[in-house]
Amino acid sequence: EVQLVESGGDLVQPGGSLRLSCAASGFTFSDYWMSWVRQAPGKGLEWVATINQDESVKSYVDSVKGRFTISRDNAKNSLYLQMSSLRVEDTAKYYCSRGSSWSASDWGQGTLVAVSS
> What residues make contact with another protein under the rule CB under 8 A?
37, 44-47, 59, 61-62, 95, 100-110
In the complex, least distance from residue 100 CB atom to another protein, rounded to whole angstroms: 7
Q: Give the distance between the most distant pair of CA atoms in the chain.
A: 40
CA of residue 66 relative to chain centroid, distance: 15
DSSP state, 100? -
Q: Which of 45/114 has CB closer to another protein? A: 45
95 contacts 107 by C-beta, under 8 angstroms: yes
Q: Which of 16/59 has CB closer to another protein? A: 59
Angstrom distance (rounded) from CA 116 to CA 16 = 10
In the complex, least distance from residue 65 CB atom to another protein, rounded to whole angstroms: 10
How many of the other CB atoms lie within 10 Å of CB of 111? 21
In the complex, least distance from residue 35 CB atom to another protein, rounded to whole angstroms: 8
Q: Which of 44/117 has CB closer to another protein? A: 44
